Amino acid sequence: MTDTPGFHARDNWFFRREDDGSVRILAPDSTGPGAHQVVTLDASTWASVVASVSSEGETSETFQAARRFHDGTAEPERTG
């Protein structure tokens, strides 16, 4: 994977999906200018975070939906 900080959410918070499906979070650290902290969440933990902040909260169904979406196996929503 190219070494880029990832998606810049705001205020120097970056999110990047890794090759193994984990999500790396790069955030400013209070130790001083230019200092950062890095946290990497495995795919299941990331799906749990996404599900827990969804409007329905985390349930088995919202967790599985977030996991399928993250894995790229979610079926597209059908209209009409």
What is the average per-residue pLDDT within 57-67?
96
Pairing verdict, β 36-41 and 13-17: unpaired
Q: Which two tokens stand for residue 58?
A: 């985390």
Confidence of residue 2 (pLDDT cuts 50, 70, 90): low
Q: Which two tokens stand for residue 60?
A: 């088995």
Query: Between these two residues, 62 and 35, which has the higher pLDDT value?
Result: 62
Mean pLDDT score across all residues of the chain: 90
71: closest CA among 7, 5, 23? 23
pLDDT at 16 over 90: yes
Residue-wise pLDDT for 26-61, tens only, equals: 998 878 777 889 999 999 999 999 999 999 999 999
